[in-house]
Structure 1
Amino acid sequence: MQARLASHGTVFRAPPPEPTTCCGRGCNGCVWEGFHDALGWWLDDAAAELDLSAP
């Protein structure tokens, strides 16, 4: 996605970093849940930026 944004001449923020603090026990409110939410928002923003940048 970053390459597609760059090819359109769009500078966009980096995707959220993957968490490094997961204990692997499947906790309610796991750090991965927050990561997936943030990644979804990032993808939505990037897709919207690509749509606006389309010739």
Structure 2
Amino acid sequence: MIDAAPDPMPESAHQARQWIAELGAQLAQRDILFRDPPEEPTTCCGRGCNGCVWEGYLQAAAYWCGQVRELLRQG
């Protein structure tokens, strides 16, 4: 298991998509297999709820990106 230091959380879904695409390309370029990134939520009601599904997604994306960055540093 990869133990990554806390990375910054993406500020938006757009930024998360960018980070995931860039890191995915780096993994592919180095021929490294890693689990898929988290899927974007599909159940948001758009009311800005406390604990919105997007908050959880951004945290999961930050965690995935941190693990990939650590893997790329090691490899």
Superposed CA deviations along residues 1-53 of structure 1, whole A, max 9, x for unmatched, are: 11211211210111100000000000000000000000000000000011011
Q: TM-score, normalised by structure 2?
A: 0.67
Q: TM-score, normalised by structure 1?
A: 0.90
Structure 2 unaligned residues grouped into runs of 5+: 1-22
- Mapped to 2, the partners of 1:33 and 1:19 lie a distance apart of 10
| Structure 1 position 51 matched with structure 2 position 73 | yes
The structure, 1 or 2, with the larger RCO (C-alpha pairs under 8 Å, 6+ apart) is 2
Percent identity, aligned pairs only, is 51
Q: Determine which structure has more spread, i.e. the larger CA radius of gyration.
A: 1
Task: Report the RMSD for the aligned CA atoms in angstroms.
Answer: 0.7
The list of structure 1 runs, each at least 4 consecutive aligned residues, that deviate by more than 6 angstroms after superposition, is none
